[in-house]
Copies of this chain bind each other. A is one copy, B any other.
Amino acid sequence: MGAKRLDGKALGLKIEARLAERVAALKDAGVEPHLAVVLAGNDPASHVYVRNKQRACERCGIKSTRIDLPNDVSQDQLMQVVMDLNADDSVHGILVQSPTPTGTDELEITAAINPAKDVDGFHPVNLGRLVMGQTDGLLPCTPAGVMQMLNDAEIDLVGKKAVVIGRSRIVGMPLALLLAQKGIDATVTIAHSRTEDIADICRSADLVVAAVGRPATVKADWIKPGATVIDVGINRVADESRENGSRLAGDVEPAAAEVAGHITPVPGGVGPMTISMLMTNTVRAAEANF
């Protein structure tokens, strides 16, 4: 294990402790930061995610309200819930837990959220601001968490090669924009399932970000010695040695830790940072509103 572990859980708690101070200041001024979480249907993983987010709110002193909707909620009903939350001045952040039930249009719902309350950072206006180099707004949480981890570890990317594997609207694309922005100045390659020579491309990179959603996709021998490896994947894989028969695994082969200079663990790496960035966005939204 040559690589230094980038501990997202510890950094996330540090960030949340600083947020708690900002929340206290807002409360002193008569504003109670308030996150509304909309949870439609009964996907067990979604329930776990929402519970984790509400616990983070408690740690920061942020009020959270959960709106439970049945699995057969209609698009119109979901849109109406969002409209009501947009109109509610006591609500600073709105999060509609993904995925929304079959038959609903998640992108339409995302676009209906007031961009100033879009604490997931998924609204087209907030993504568009990244294309424009405007990074002072509500940033998508996972990419923002990755940037915070790189910053905290003082990893200088100016002129260096970064490869982002995955081109989703949630992680890959916005993270590529953030890494290429002025002031960070990485030379960023967006790679994906159709990329040829992915191993060689990774071997030339000082930073490899894996956001593909398949366990152990990035091999240890793809990593340049000393490079930084950020593993965004959270995959459940079979493991008979565990009581429940499974464990979480990242998108990167564990042996990459022998080669890399810095690496994020799974779990305990990017995952907790994503939640801390959600808290950051909620406090930002409350401060902007105030």
Given contacts A107-B132, A129-B124, A167-B180, contact A192 B196 (CB under 8 A): no
Contact B132 A130 (CB under 8 A): no
A13 within 8 A of B: no
Q: Number of A interface residues, CB 8 Å?
A: 37
A67 within 8 A of B: no
A235 within 8 A of B: no
Contact B196 A187 (CB under 8 A): yes
Question: Shortest beta-carbon distance, A133 to chain B, in Å?
Answer: 6
Contact of A128 among B128, B176, B194 (CB under 8 A): B128
Contact A190 B187 (CB under 8 A): yes
The chain B residue sitting closest to A172, CB to CB, is B180
Most chain B beta carbons < 10 A, residue from A131, A188, A201: A131
Given contacts A128-B127, A131-B128, A132-B127, contact A180 B159 (CB under 8 A): no
Between A and B, 27 residue pairs with Cβ closer than 8 Å are A107-B132, A124-B124, A124-B128, A124-B129, A124-B131, A124-B132, A127-B127, A127-B128, A127-B132, A130-B131, A131-B131, A131-B169, A131-B173, A131-B174, A132-B169, A159-B195, A167-B182, A173-B177, A173-B180, A176-B190, A180-B190, A185-B192, A187-B189, A187-B190, A187-B201, A189-B190, A190-B190
Given contacts A159-B196, A188-B190, 17 further A-B contacts (CB under 8 A): A107-B132, A107-B134, A123-B128, A124-B125, A127-B128, A127-B131, A128-B129, A131-B177, A132-B169, A133-B169, A167-B180, A176-B176, A185-B194, A187-B190, A187-B194, A187-B195, A190-B190
